[in-house]
Structure 1
Amino acid sequence: MASRTASFRQLVAVTASAVMALGLASCASTDQEGGEASQVASTSVAETDNSPYREARAENVARAVAESFPQEPTVISDAGYTGVDTSEMFFDSSDTVVVSGAGIAQELRAASIGVVAHSPVLHAPGGSDAEVIAEIERLGASTVLLVGQALPGFTEDSVESVSKIIQDNGTEQGLAELTALQFDEQTVADVSDLARATATLVADQQTMLVPAWEQTTTLDDETPDNSPTDTLDAFPLQTNRDGEMAPVVIASPESGISAVATARAYGAEVRFMDYPDPRLNSETMEMVAGLSERPLLALGDQFGTGELLAEKIERGETVTTELPGGGGLVFPGRRMVALYGHPSGPALGAMGEQPAAEAVARVTELAKEYQPFDDEPVIPAFEVIATVASEFPGDDGNFSNEFPVEDLVEYVDAITDAGGYAVLDLQPGRANFLEQAKLYEELLKRPNVGLALDPEWKIGPDEQPMTRVGSVEASEVNEVAQWLADLVAEHELPQKAFVLHQFQVQMIRDRSQIDTTHPELAFVLHADGHGAPGDKYATWDMLRQDLSDDYFMAWKNFYDEDFPTFTPQQTYEDVNPRPWFVSYQ
């Protein structure tokens, strides 16, 4: 990792002049039951005549749902992608079961058959065979269709209720013999589209999903056990179980194929969203509007808990202010390209190299250079240093200069008025991050202003600045996150960016202990590595080790300390995963 000495020298050179130039000072329900269905009136705050989700909510709330389903939002776990938990939710029993072995082609074939046959679909790629067999036994299935190399050694004696095992041979002729139906093939082009395509399967349309990158295994007469015969037995087709009384079901790209197929086999409508948070955009909010206290099933642990999902729905209905580029989430839905710096001038970064209006024009053009390489909107942003670490203790002795709001507001106004986003950056010295964050509450109450913590400049009470790279404890980060989340909730703001800068492991102590469950915040880990490409990639990979999936990654390009500075194309195509936030210093 390249040395940070240049940054320290830069800080020493500019602190005194910045203070003088800006005159720096310390800144200070009701239940209605009928038959087998239960309807609970929505009590959401968003039930007002001007709600953009009024019609969608009315339709969702009017839906009759069988009492056998949970009457509140529920996440169905599918950690092993076996589909067992979904089968347990939808089917009390079933005469037939479809089980697929390893391979996406096999699982899609099983899903396609299962939906047409209204049969639960299970996945047994190896390692979970006992769990799958137990589910077959619970269902009391008499006929089991095996697709691919599923459940080796499984026989009629394995489960008491099973009287027939049919081994699919993977051929078009075999499919016709199994179902006496003609299927139309549909190619799935990308892994991210697997759950989406499965969610669109319709029983009476007989669609066979086939991945573009993999072929279904064809079994031959040499296959041991359950080997195919010249003519396959017919696989019985069951009737639709739904009766139009299933709850709304939602899925995302991470949802398991078999889980989605089982819900469709039951007859449930599966609504697909590109990200497992309904606040992504107005379309996904309409899918779940009014269901924060009503039956709703989410397929996969990526949705969190039922309680968290309900909270996100309620917030999405309450907070209808959209962020630049649309939607109620910071990420995904857009990416950002930012200039980092301070209004005092060029010494602290690229943003201050020009007046606010010119800085906006510069970063807007920079964002446009990134747009050809991404389908999501790329919006301009500023990362404005609000408190500047100092070599001098100052009147308060904390070695950090807290700039007044009025010195920052020109740049914040300029970028947000231009449809961009601002992030306030804190360099606390000996100060507490939370104490400094509260100084900027006025700005943080704005919908398009986020907060960044820079532990590089966080030192202990007896330490001198610039003697080491600073650090922060997870507990202090959690204090700031809780305060900021409460501020967002209290003032009904859209989700806010919460950025953590890091380029050494020790900079954020016990990072795994940071509470990232606040739906009000988008947690962003900003990798500040600089130098040659190899150094930057090494830092990037190191910081991503054991990192929670709750974080969005950010990348910094240095004009003077990178050799060379990455181009927009290199930043988006060579850095993996593609960063959501890119800043320039």
Structure 2
Amino acid sequence: MTHLVSPVRRIIAATTTAVVALGLVSCSTDSSQEGANGAAEVMAEGASTSEVVDDSPYREARAENVARVVSEDFPSTPTVISDADYSGIKASELFFDSSDNVVVAGNGIAEELRAASIGVVAHAPVLHARGDNNAAVMAEIERLGASTVLLIGDALPELAEDETITKVIHDDGTEEGLAQLTALQFETKQVDTVEDLVRETASLTPEDQTLLAPAWGGVAPTPSDDKLAAFPLQSKRDGEMSPIVIASPESGISAVATARAFGAEIRFMDYPDPRFNQEQMKMVAGLADRPLLALGDQFGTGEQLAEKIKRGEEVTTELPGGGGLVFPGRRMVALYGHPSGPALGALGEQPAAEAVARATDMAAQYQEFEDQPVIPAFEVIATVASEFAGDDGNYSNEFPVEDLVGYVDAITEAGGYAVLDLQPGRANFLDQAKMYEELLKRPNVGLALDPEWKIGPDEQPMTRVGSADAAEINEVSQWLADLTAENDLPQKAFVLHQFQLEMLTNRDQINTDHLELAVVLHADGHGNAGDKYATWNMLREGLSPNYFMAWKNFYDEDFPTFTPQQTYEEVDPRPWFVSYQ
């Protein structure tokens, strides 16, 4: 598949609020003094008490969160509890110094949910023995000093009663067996989807005695004539002094259950970044430098989580469709091109207002197949590769801001998003990006880099498919991330176009960790469906999970052009950004 003869082509491409300490309470007696000192500093700068105003949407949530009394046994700053093997061992180590009783689940979601349901009611840690981690689970049981172990499913077949474990109980998977174990009557609640597993586990309460069971099948019963021994119930350990704990769909069931068994409150996030929406920000407001536990590596490091909280509190401007993250939370459908006319893409086929109406109609067609908001977007070519060297000799025409601003204004004022696309020729991506700093300081304008039109100092466009190295990409991403942070802007789309592996050299070295950027890989392949899928799958091989995927539909070069339904239901994974050329 070649793109050399195609027309020049290629979405994706804050307000700072005063945070005032109203009086901070924690397990340390220094916290209230810290709040007093903060107020004194404000007064020293000449502000009266009546002038100290916190108009943040998180004011009440922050006050409630920081007033929480937390035991000094827990880390004093945001901490991520790793659970790579979903064993729940790290959570058990953090929450329980010891425990007479432990629940261990074998392989299978049904087994984990049953173990979680029992563990929460019994206030006992819950571990997940998958077979390949049995030795680590056994070591954790020993550390806890457990005398009674309840096994669910095929867990730990090698476990034998010895001088340290006085009782090993094998659950039989039946309702009668559950009643014998606990002397309680559980009510079964069906979990319909995988996405709801952690949410439902986080909502378990000892008082309700709920037995969670997946809709697609339960624990295989192994009834016996023998009555099961009682599994002793313990008291909760938290003493109303546990930190707030957050979880997401990627968190481990056993880790979540262990935190609930301890007595901790679990706040469930649909996405492991509090900036996803205001509801999630309220869960953690004020906790950037205070105790907070996050279950699972999907939250990043503790330092990264703290920085996300800080950014979320400082930047309250929301993107079209809500929230402070580009993706997820919305998808985009864009027209690609240049205001000068149709030669460079669909965007220029009509004036700005008509282009907005067209993009809005396209987004509405896609909305029929998507639950998240689908918003209209423009990808506006800002610098266009040229066959002529030009006065500066860089084979790229850099259009002034005033030529682009009409289209940018039109789409953003209509509740959409704009991405500026760079085709640098011999120029440097960073130098060209800086030309559009004025537009990039807007909260709903992102940046796209098109390596197809990036050539060497002695080359001319269209003699080969261009390329850019990770080092140059990283220069731009660092500058854009700094610009975003310094101007208190919500996250920006940072789009990289690619249809051949050689276009992004050392792609594995591209920095995708900037909290200020949503890094998007835009697959530009055209042709028949088979060719497009082949390009899509090839580009995704070895790709960091930090990228969001984007797809392009061509009106004249696809055979045929995909429909909205095809694009959303047949392209896997579903693209976050779809552009039309």
> How high is the TM-score relative to the length of structure 2?
0.93
Are residues 1:258 and 2:261 paired?
no
> Residues 123-272 of structure 1 correspond to what in structure 2 (within 5 A)?
123-157=128-162, 160-219=163-222, 230-272=226-268
Could you say which residue in structure 2 is the equivalent of 1:3?
2
Partner of 1:55: 60
Output one character per residue of 1:274-308: Cα deviation in whole Å (capped at 9) or x when no partner: 00000011100000000000000000000000000
Work out whether 1:117 is the aligned partner of 2:145: no
Tell whether the 8 Å contact from 1:37 to 1:66 is kept in structure 2 after alignment: no
Distance 2:126 2:322 in 1: 37
Correspondence 1:474 to 2:470? yes
Deviation at 1:11, TM superposition (A): 4.2
Q: Counterpart in 1 of 2:515?
A: 519
Query: Could you tell me how far 1:35 is from its partner in structure 2?
Result: 6.7
SS at match of 2:176: helix
Counterpart of 1:456 in structure 2: which amino acid?
E
The runs of 4+ residues in structure 1 deviating greater than 3 Å are 29-45
Which residue does the alignment assign to 1:436? Answer: 432
Distance, in Å, in 1 between the alignment partners of 2:233 and 2:58 is 39
- Partner residue of 1:69 out of 71, 74, 82: 74
> Partners of 1:502 and 1:34 in 2: how far apart?
50
Q: How much has 1:397 moved relative to structure 2?
A: 1.0
The residue identity in structure 2 corresponding to 1:210 is: A
Query: Residues 260 and 37 (structure 1 numbering): CA distance in 2 closer, same or farther, change over 3 Å?
Result: farther
CA distances 1:15-42 after superposition (whole Å, capped 9, x unpaired): xxxxxxxxxxxxxx99989878884858
Equivalent runs, 1:81-480 vs 2, <5 Å: 81-157=86-162, 160-219=163-222, 230-480=226-476
Higher relative contact order (CA 8 A, sep 6+): 2
User: % of aligned pairs identical?
Assistant: 74
Kept in 1, the 8 Å contact 2:288–2:310? The answer is: yes
SS of the equivalent of 2:5 reads helix
**SS of equivalent to 2:157:** coil
Shift of 1:427: 0.5
Q: How big is the alpha-carbon RMSD for the aligned residues of Structure 1 and Structure 2?
A: 1.9
In structure 2, the CA distance between the partners of 1:268 and 1:580, relative to structure 1 (3 Å rule), is: same
CA contact (8 A) 1:142 1:163 kept: yes
Which residue of the partner structure matches residue 13 of structure 2?
none
**Higher alpha-carbon deviation: 276-285 or 536-545:** 536-545
Higher deviation after alignment, 487-496 or 31-40: 31-40
Q: Pick from 470, 481, 485: which aligns with 1:485?
A: 481
Deviation at 1:426, TM superposition (A): 0.4
| Maintained 8 Å contact 1:32/1:38 | no
Uncovered stretches (5+) of structure 1, i.e. residues with no partner: 13-28, 221-227
Query: How many residues end up aligned between the 2 structures?
Result: 556
* Residue type of the alignment partner of 1:219: T
Cα separation, partners in 2 of 1:142 and 1:406, compared to 1, 3 Å:
same
Contact 1:78 1:299 in 2 (8 A): yes
CA displacement at 1:167 relative to structure 2: 0.5
- Please say if residues 31 and 38 of structure 1, whose CA atoms lie closer than 8 Å, have aligned partners that are also in contact: no
Supply the AA of the counterpart residue of 2:461: P
- Contact 1:38–1:66 (8 Å) recurs in 2: no
Larger mean CA deviation between 36-45 and 232-241 belongs to 36-45
| Aligned mates of 1:577, 1:82 — CA distance in 2 | 28
| Correspondences of 1:535-550 after superposition (within 5 Å) | 535-550=531-546
User: Given that residues 147 and 167 in structure 2 are in contact (C-alpha distance below 8 angstroms), is that contact kept between their aligned partners in structure 1?
Assistant: yes
Partner of residue 12, structure 2: none
Report the secondary structure of 2:85's partner residue.
Answer: coil
Shift in alpha-carbon separation, 1:93–1:30, aligned structure 2, 3 A:
farther
Per mean C-alpha deviation after superposition, the further-off stretch among 303-312 and 513-522 is 513-522
Q: 1:18 aligns to what?
A: none
Alpha-carbon offset, residue 6 of structure 1: 3.5
Deviations 1:125-158 (A, max 9, x none): 111111111110110000000000011211123x
Query: In 2, are the aligned partners of 1:148 and 1:170 still within 8 Å (CA)?
Result: yes
CA contact (8 A) 2:430 2:475 kept: yes
Q: Given the superposition, is the C-alpha separation of residues 30 and 38 from structure 1 closer, same or farther in structure 2, using an over 3 Å criterion?
A: farther
**What code does the residue aligned with 1:436 have?**
Q
Task: Give me the whole-angstrom Cα distance separating, in 1, the residues matched to 2:145 and 2:30.
Answer: 28
Q: Could you give the per-residue CA deviations for residues 411-460 of structure 1, whole angstroms, max 9, x where no partner exists?
A: 00000011100000000111111011000000000000000001111111
Which AA in structure 2 matches 1:161? T
In 2, are the aligned partners of 1:38 and 1:67 still within 8 Å (CA)? Answer: no
Cα distance in 1, alignment partners of residues 309 and 225 from structure 2:
52
**Do the aligned partners of 1:364 and 1:380 also contact (CA within 8 Å) in 2?**
yes
Paired AA for residue 391 in structure 1:
E
CA distance in 2, matches of 1:38, 1:63: 14
Residue 59 of structure 1 aligns to a residue whose secondary structure is helix
Q: CA deviation at 1:229?
A: 6.1
